[in-house]
Every structure is written in C-alpha cells, then in structure tokens.
Amino acid sequence: MTIELSVDEAAQVRLWHRVSQFLFREARLLDEWRLREWYDEMLTDDVRYAVPATDVRDGTTDALGLVDDDAARLRQRIEQLLNDEVWCENPRSRTNRMIGNVEILADRGTHLDVAANVVVHRFGHGRSDAYVGKYRFELVVAGESFRVRRRVVVLDHETLYEHGKLSIIL
Amino acid sequence: MTIELQRPVGDPIVLDDPGRHSFRVDRRAYTDEDVAARELTRIFDRCWLYVGHESEVPGPGSYVARDVGGRPVVMARGSDGVIRVFANSCTHRGALICSQPAGQVRSFRCPYHDWTFSNQGDLVGVPIPDGYGPGFRKADFGLARHRSDTYRGFVFVTFDPQQPLTLTEYLAGATEYLDLVDDQSEAGMEVIRGAQLHGAQANWKLMMENSVDIYHFRALHKRYVTYMESLGSVPPRRRGGFGRALGLGHGANELPPAAARPLAYWTPMFGAEVRPRIEATAARFVDRFGPERAQRITGTNRALLVFPNLMIIDAIAITIRKIDPVGAGRMAITSVALAPRDEDPDIRELRKSHYLTFLGPAGFATPDDIEIIESCQRGYLNRTVRYSDLSRGMNKEVPETTDELPAREFWRQWDRLMHGDDGHHVEAAHPGGAHGTGPR
C-alpha cells in the first residue's frame, strides 16, 4: 500500500527534510572541527549563539548565561579553538553530536523557527562528557538552503558540576 | 605502599621557611581523603562561610537553598524582614524542607509528613497532633538556626556556636576590600540572576590558589590576551600592583586594570557610545569619595580571597565564586555576577557580555583554569614529586601580583586550623595579620 501525500504534506516533508539535512551538516562540520567553513557557509552576519544558565531557563534576557556570542565573538571563539592557544582544547576534543526530534515550530516565509533535541558527546584530556539539551534555531531561508541567525542551546543539566567547563561549541 | 611508609601521618604538610625564602606544600594536602575529612571538621565546621548575598533574598519570604560547607542550608528572609540561615532538614525525620533552589513562601512544608515551618523557622503545623503526648512542644522543633551575620550585603554563617570571632573580626583585613566592592553603588549591589554552576575534578584548594595567581595569566590565558589585543587592550607582562596578606588566611591582589571596567573605567573596547556615561559616573565617584579613593574603587582591579572558600574578583566584571570541596579530588563551583542595582541598562549588558567573555565554564579563560587544575590533580598521582612550591615573592618587601603571597596567607591559616592551634584566637590579637599587610 502506498501512502498518498497531499500537496501540502509533500511540501512539509520536503521542508522538514531540507531542515534536517541542514542541521545534520552543521553537526558534521562542528564534529570535524571545520569551524571556519561552518561560520562562513551556515551562519548569518548577525548570528547570535547563546547557552542560557542552567538555573534560569525561561528565556529572560536580564539573566546571565553561560554563552552569549555575537558574530564577532563567535569568530574569536573559533579562531582561538583553531590556533591551538586553547589549552583545554589542545589536543582537540573528539565530539559526536546526536540530533533528534527535529521539528519546524513555525514557518514565517523568510525564516523558520526550528527545535531539535541534541546530545553532544565530548572526549578529551582523559574525560568523557555528554551535554544534553534542546536546540532553538532561527533559520533564514536562503534559496534552497538556510543560514542560522539565532542558535540557542538550552541545557537540560541542573548544573555542569560533572563537566566543569564548556569549551566546545555545542 | 613504601611511599606511604615514608610519610608518617604527623609529617608537616606546610613547610614554611621564611629565612630561606622557601614555602612548600606536601601534595597530600590535595589528594589525601583523610586530609579532606579533617578539613570539614577543622575548617568548614568552624570558620565563617559565605552563604550568599542579601539581594538574593530581596523580599519577605524569599529564600535560597544551597549547600554550604557540605551542609544543605536555607537562607531566608522572614516575614519580619530578618535574614536567617537554617539547616535544610526537617526536625522530625530529616527530609529537606526546601527542595527548590529559590522562591518566595510564607512557610516551608516538609513533603514527608507535612510538618510546616514559618519562614522565620517556627514549627507551625503538625498533622494529627494527638499522636504526641503532653510533653511535646512545637517550640522544641523549630528549624535549626545557624549563627549568621551580614557584612556589607555578604551573608556568612558559622556552624560553630563557640566561634570566638564576630563576622567582622573574622573578616579582618578583608573588610577593606568588601567595602571597595560594596561602595560601587549608593543604591546597593545585587546579584544578577543566572548562576554558573560547575565544578572540577580537582581539590578545592587548587581553585583558591588559581584565583589569586596572576603569574599564570599570560602563559595559560594566551587566547584571552590575544582577544584583548584584538580589542586594542594590551596587558603588560608585569602587571604592577601588589599582593597582600589580610590576616586569618585572607589575601588579595590589587592591580591596574588590564581592560575596561563597567562601573567607571572606559577603554575603547566598550565603544564610544557609552563613554560619556561611564566618565560621568567616574566624576560622581570623585565627588563622593575624593580622587584617591574614587580611583581605587573605579580604576583598580582586585581579587579577594576570603578564607576558606570565597573569591571575589572585581575586574572586567565582579564575580562571586564559592568553592566547595567534594572529597579530596573534586569540587563544586558556584559563580554569580554582582553589579550596581541602579546600573544603566546598556552598561549592564556590557558588563554581562564581558563577564561571559572571560569568566565562567564557557568563557575565554575559566575553562583553561579548570583544565589546568585538573591537570595538576592528575600530576599528583606521581607521588615521587612530593611538594608544590609557593615561594614567589618571599624575597621581597612588597610582593608583586605575580608573586604568591595571598596563597601563602591561605596556607598558613589552613595549617594553623588543621593542626589544632586556634588561629582565630591567635590572630584576633593582631587584626592586621601575623604576616604583614603590605602597603596602604
């Protein structure tokens, strides 16, 4: 038996597929430390990358988080990670990002609100850590693909007591 | 086991030899579980310990629940406005009476049997009370209240009812630095919501040492130096300033800023737009405090170590860092940002932004600190290398910030408390501290 998709459903499946492929490619570039490529090809010029505090997760902007990078500081972060001056990422961590539950929350024509679950496994300096959280993306539609304008990673951990630090890009 | 046999239990851990400019710490101090257990009873059960800032319990009934010195406590402002610190443990069978990290309540209800305590600690409700005889009095079962006190907004607790020193006496020379922090706003200082809760797989004392160690800055934090250079701020190799021993284990470094300070010290990294506002604030401080003290408040960086486990770092932002031991080889770290309550919103954003750049588990500096102290802890596994050296600056009248005077002050007090001398009594007679207070 074949399942007939309506025109609308087929469009939704195609969009979901394209979004998922985009997120998977992003995960692969980050896992492979192809950070400049990621920055140049997948982000907007006004990108924001944020990781809120583990004890304030309601999205209030007056709180202090763990990461709140604009494009310039994210670029700095990347250059530091790549130039081997970062002691805690030298040698570089091995990472494995597992993405699931990809969901398009809203299609606003020029951009999409996308949610996904993520586990980032990180191995380095004799340690293994898993960062578990939720991605909240704002993707700007750019032809057949997208660019990330807003990238928020809401961690589910109560604390980072086990991890100690967050020296990779989630 | 031969290694252990070479180290009788009574061996000194701190080897302090001023005559030879030698100061060594046996690495058992960081690795030995017996030492860690003794620290809990000799240090954390006796000293005044930082609990939190009064701004974290702003209104009647507001509270925070956290661990202090390995004990779960609740800091609550009662309906009467008084800040109290209670054991977070039901007086009936022991469950936590407060399992939320923060909130605002009229009463705390133990979820086990619904015993209910007012926000002032009184037992006010016991279900099915006829199960107790006539000798049962609610007044005997109020929450256990710890001795607590506040200095300039910083709330401390001691678990030792016999602690001979008041909080102010205990803080000794550290009050001078707490004043310099709290003087930064007439409206009062406040903790910004959002704590950085992390830790390290290393002994807690390594983070205390690291936090007053400026010597490592240009070596370990090359990437932050590179970042500052990209913003037009070039910190010199010798930062200037000086280290101080403040008595009773407290110490500080005081030094010229390496970058801007959001309160009232502008450099180009903050952008031209906020410059007039920041310079106007600086002028107001001169009016309030006179040029010399205003410069010290607004135009000087400082790192204050309050024995045993509080750090206040006042630089590109102000961080309050509370460090708790978890056995010999682990620690929990709680960092929050402190800021003037009446801060201009744009400057508050700059403060938060630059705080995150340097500090916290994802900043451009702290992750390397975490990794390097974990590296030290791993290095101690090779017990052939028995001692760490902390002698820098012993050859000088006034040690620089790249020296290790504040760490030595910490260790001397640690040694006194661990080995039974009541450092509190001894030092009370010499509020400036037994090892000199440096300049000023």
CB-nearest to A64 from B193, B198, B222 is B193
Contact A163 B372 (CB under 8 A): no
| Number of domain units in chain A | 1
Question: Residue B70 belongs to what H/E stretch?
Answer: none
Q: How many residues make up chain B in this entry?
A: 440
Interface test with A, best of B197, B347, B359 (most A CBs within 10 A): B197
Domain annotation covers residue A160: no
Helix (H, G, I), strand (E, B) or coil at A62: coil
Chain B interface includes A76 (CB < 8 A)? yes
On chain B, the residues whose CB falls within 8 A of the CB of A126 are: 378
More confident residue, B8 or A125: A125
Per-residue tokens: B252 = 């500080």
Mean pLDDT of A64-68: 94
Q: Which domain holds residue A47?
A: 7-155
CB B400 within 8 A of CB B29: no
Name the band, by pLDDT with cuts 50, 70 and 90, for residue A84: confident
Which DSSP category does B401 fall into? T
Which residue of chain B is at minimal alpha-carbon distance from A165?
B361
Contact A165 B196 (CB under 8 A): no
How far, in Å, are B140, B141, B408 from residue B137 at the CA level? 6, 7, 50
CB-nearest to A53 from B196, B227, B230 is B196
> Is B49-158 a CATH 3.40.50.2300 domain?
no
CB-nearest to B367 from A54, A162, A167 is A167
Contact A126 B226 (CB under 8 A): no
Contact A87 B372 (CB under 8 A): yes
Contact B193 A160 (CB under 8 A): no
CATH number at residue A132: 3.10.450.50
Q: For residue B15, which amino acid is it?
A: L
Contact B353 A163 (CB under 8 A): no
Domain ranges of chain B: 49-158, 173-428
With b for 16 or more beta-carbon neighbours within 10 A and e for fewer, the A79-111 pattern comes to bbbeeebbbbbeeebebebebeebebeeeeeeb
Please give the pLDDT value at position A99.
Answer: 97
Please give the Cα distance from B331 to A159 (Å, whole number): 13
Please give the pLDDT value at position B429.
Answer: 35
Task: Tell me the shortest Cα–Cα distance from B223 to chain A, in angstroms.
Answer: 6
Contact A68 B353 (CB under 8 A): yes
Please give the Cα distance from B299 to B11 (Å, whole number): 45
ipTM of the complex model:
0.90
Q: Which CATH number fits domain B173-428: 3.90.380.10, 2.60.40.420, 3.50.50.60, 3.20.20.30?
A: 3.90.380.10
Please give the pLDDT value at position B439.
Answer: 34
Please give the pLDDT value at position B358.
Answer: 84
On chain A, the residues whose CB falls within 8 A of the CB of B368 are: 86-88
Judged by phi (left if over 0) then psi (alpha if -120 to 50, else beta), residue A25 lies in: alpha
Domain annotation covers residue A88: yes
Chain B interface includes A158 (CB < 8 A)? yes
Please give the pLDDT value at position A125.
Answer: 84
On chain B, the residues whose CB falls within 8 A of the CB of A63 are: 192-194
How far, in Å, are A120, B110, B253, B427 from residue B246 at the CA level? 45, 42, 10, 11
Please give the Cα distance from B127 to B162 (Å, whole number): 36
On chain A, the residues whose CB falls within 8 A of the CB of B374 are: 125, 164
Chain B interface includes A92 (CB < 8 A)? no
On chain A, the residues whose CB falls within 8 A of the CB of B196 are: 53, 64, 66, 160
Interface test with A, best of B100, B192, B198 (most A CBs within 10 A): B198
Please give the Cα distance from B110 to B280 (Å, whole number): 51
Hey, which residues 15-74 in chain B have their CB within 8 Å of chain A? none
Chain B interface includes A54 (CB < 8 A)? yes
On chain A, the residues whose CB falls within 8 A of the CB of B217 are: none
- Write out chain B's pLDDT in tens, 440 residues: 344 444 445 678 999 999 999 999 999 999 999 999 999 999 999 999 999 999 999 999 999 999 999 999 999 999 999 999 999 999 999 999 999 999 999 999 999 999 999 999 999 999 999 999 999 999 999 999 999 999 999 999 999 999 999 999 999 999 999 999 999 999 999 999 999 999 999 999 999 999 999 999 888 988 888 888 887 776 666 778 999 999 999 999 999 988 889 999 998 888 899 999 999 999 999 999 999 999 999 999 999 999 999 999 999 999 999 999 999 999 999 999 999 999 999 999 999 999 998 888 999 999 999 999 999 999 999 999 999 999 999 999 889 899 999 999 999 999 999 987 655 543 333 333 334 333 33
Please give the pLDDT value at position B2.
Answer: 40
Contact A164 B368 (CB under 8 A): no
Closest by CA to B326, choosing from B70, B83, B112, is B70
Chain B interface includes A72 (CB < 8 A)? no
Which DSSP category does A92 fall into? P
Task: Tell me the shortest Cα–Cα distance from A98 to chain B, in angstroms.
Answer: 21
